[in-house]
Structure 1
Amino acid sequence: MKKEFFEKIKLLNNFSFLVILIFVFFISFGISKTRFLTNGKESNYHIYPISIPKKVSFAGEEITLAEDDLIERMDKEFLVNTYWQSNTILLIKRANKYFPQIEKILIDEGVPTDFKYLALIESGLENVTSPSGAKGFWQIMKTTGKEYGLEINSNVDERYNLNLSTRLASKYLKKARDKFGSWTLAAAAYNRGMSGVQNKIANQNQTTYENILFGDETKRYVFRIIALKNIVESPESFGFYVDEGQMYKPIEYKKIKIDKPINNISDFSKDYGLNYKNFKIHNPWLLENHLNNKSRKVYTISIPSDKI
């Protein structure tokens, strides 16, 4: 009887020890998981609405959020872009890499630097292709690209050239601004087209973006730009903490002029310390493994400065 009693005590002790081990494991796992998700920093995760300012601005033009319609539209863009965390963190990182290059061109072209956020919402600063066929950071259609002088064919597509496409976008925006007298409406025209905006102005007898009834995409367009401008310029205010070392780094380029064909880009790139993949990453407008250039046009090749 005494022996059975001690056996039961032993079994109970073993069971208790097992329960404690399991408890410790899950507590440790939870702590490790929390530290992984918070980058090793203490975090109390709460979800809050966003405080909407009474006034917002874009390209030096102020919009007063005095109507429920305007407040709700602005609120939507702040909420969507704040709580789509993974996408917004990527946008913040890419902005750090590409905005310096874009800003220089916008300043050179006489366009407000706020328009860099237009490229951000158009493509996420990636060389993507839309369902309608628009390409590059600025999402330029083929007809528009050719109208403004870009070369677009099976060998070269200059919509993927960040310098040339930014200059095209600048020319379009300046033309729209001259037409409508407003940078905000110029931004709307980039989405809706100049004729589309002109028709809305004529039909509704209104001349400001916030007082014109646009379709769903265009009525969100400028507000989305403004929301991302505020988030990227002050990420901590919206709960985004990205260390400097986690940002994507800007690249300094040496520009190489070439006025002859390139028979083999794989071989050509080796002369500049690059393999084919990296050469194409920095020159995505070259579509094939060669450059035809029968007309002896002068092209500009971008080579990272640390390779020369």
Structure 2
Amino acid sequence: MYQSELPNNKDYNYENPYKVYALKIPDTIYFAGEEIVLNSPDLRERMDRELLVNTYWQSNTLLLIKRANKFFPKIEKILRKEGIPDDFKYLALIESGLQNVTSPSGAKGFWQIMRNTGLEMGLEINSNVDERYNLSLSTKIASKYLKKAKKKFGTWTLAAASYNRGISGIQKNLNFQEVDNYFDLRLGSESSRYIFRILAIKEIIENPIIYGFIYDEEDLYHPIPVRNFSVDTGIVDLSKFAKTFNINYKILKIHNSWLRQNHLNNRSRKKYFIEIPEEGYY
């Protein structure tokens, strides 16, 4: 019903202080230095959907903004070192919400890495240690995958799409549909939305006031300084180990989620780096 069609009835209350506004869709947006012109109804509607979802699911998006302030600095540093465009931090954000979650298909960690993929790319994954939960290592593995995909497809946008659909899945669809870019592909719902989810959260985080998100610096979550303690032996009791650094088991596991049990086996004498938060932050 259009506003002009509202019934002319004095008892009909349509004066509502809460208003939901349509959003202006940018004509052009950039991802990883690649220009994306939103010049067709299909592209504009897909972008509109993700902007609306993220703008009006305010609680979730505000949490994403807060977590981004805490974890982006670490992710940005690794991406820069690995030669990956900074915008890929938003891929991690939409994959996991920057939480160590597990998907229904079994993908884990901030970068939602599948078990077989992680093992193939050199991560240790077992009942005692799961390095998919190690933000530094998983960011490096994600970077390795993205560089491989970029080399295959030639664009960062297709590389990002392949993170969701797989390199072979994207290539198969490009061949079958006889197109050469993501925006001309007909994909399933999840893959069709994937890049636009990244673009929308990037647009909102980089322009929060435009989309109604008002906050002060002190409202955001902040990185906690840590130092890396190296170990090349097993640890029988992580609770006792934590106490030697004046922290408890909970704090140790918050910073080292890759330690999956209450001990570390390490029969191979591998060198691990355990993050210990600086004093005064807990």
Normalised to the residue count of structure 1, the TM-score between the two structures is 0.84
Do residues 124 (structure 1) and 58 (structure 2) align?
A: no
Residue-by-residue CA offset, 1:250-301 (whole Å, 9 max, x unaligned): 1222111110000110000111111000100000000111000000000010
Q: Distance in 1 between matches of 2:178 and 2:225?
A: 48
Among 35, 51, 75, the alignment partner of 1:62 is 35
Task: Give the Cα separation in 1 of the matches to 2:258 and 2:91.
Answer: 21
After superposition, what is the alpha-carbon deviation per residue over 1:34-67, rounded to whole angstroms, capped at 9, x for unaligned?
xxxxxxxxxx642101100111111111111111
Spell out, residue by residue over 1:196-251, the C-alpha distance to the aligned partner (whole angstroms, 9 max, x if none): 00001111111111111111111110111010001111211100112111101112
How far apart, CA to CA, are the structure 2 residues paired with 1:46 and 1:52? 19
Question: How far apart are the structure 2 equivalents of 1:50 and 1:261?
Answer: 55
Aligned position for 1:15? none
Contact 1:273/1:307 (8 A) holds in 2: no
Partner of 1:248: 221
Specify which of 199, 209, 219 is matched with residue 182 of structure 2: 209
Query: Is the 1:127–1:160 contact (alpha carbons within 8 Å) kept by the matching residues of 2?
Result: yes
Partner of 1:140: 113
Q: Secondary structure at the match of 2:168?
A: helix
CA distance in 1 between counterparts of 2:215 and 2:105 reads 34
- The one-letter code of the counterpart of 1:208 is N
Do structure 1's residue 264 and structure 2's residue 268 form an aligned pair? no
Partner amino acid for 1:175? K
Which residue identity does 2:41 align to in structure 1? D
What 5-or-longer segments of structure 2 have no aligned partner? Answer: 1-16
2:209 corresponds, among 222, 225, 236, to: 236
Q: What is the deviation of 1:307?
A: 6.3
Query: Larger % of helix: which?
Result: 1
- Structure 1's consecutive aligned runs of 4 or more residues displaced over 3 angstroms after TM superposition are none
Cα distance in 1 for partners of 2:159, 2:225 equals 31
Residue from 175, 191, 194 that aligns with 2:167: 194
- What are the superposed Cα offsets for residues 3-25 of structure 1, whole Å, 9 maximum, x if unpaired? xxxxxxxxxxxxxxxxxxxxxxx
Give the C-alpha shift of residue 108 in structure 1: 0.6
- Whole-Å Cα distance in 1 between the matches of residues 273 and 180 of structure 2? 41
The answer on whether the counterparts of 1:98 and 1:125 sit within 8 Å (CA) in structure 2 is yes
**Counterpart residue number, 2:128:** 155
Alignment-mate amino acid for residue 257 of structure 1: S
| CA offsets 1:102-156 (integer angstroms, 9 cap, x no match) | 0000001000010000000000000000000000000000000000000000000
CA distance in 2, matches of 1:251, 1:206: 46
* Aligned residues: CA RMSD: 1.1
Among the aligned pairs, what percent are the same residue? 62
1:287 alignment counterpart: 260
Pair 1:299 & 2:278 matched: no
Larger radius of gyration: 1
Gaps of 5+ in 1: 1-43
| 1:173 match | 146
Letter paired with 2:133: Y
Tell me the TM-score normalized by structure 2.
0.92
Greater relative CO (CA pairs within 8 A, separation 6+): 2
Task: Provide, for residues 137-177 of structure 1, a one-character-per-residue CA deviation record: whole Å limited to 9, x for no partner.
Answer: 00000000000000000000000000000000000000000
Aligned pairs for 1:70-109 (under 5 A) are 70-109=43-82
Instruction: Report how many residues are paired.
Output: 265
The residue matched to 2:279 in structure 1 has which SS? helix
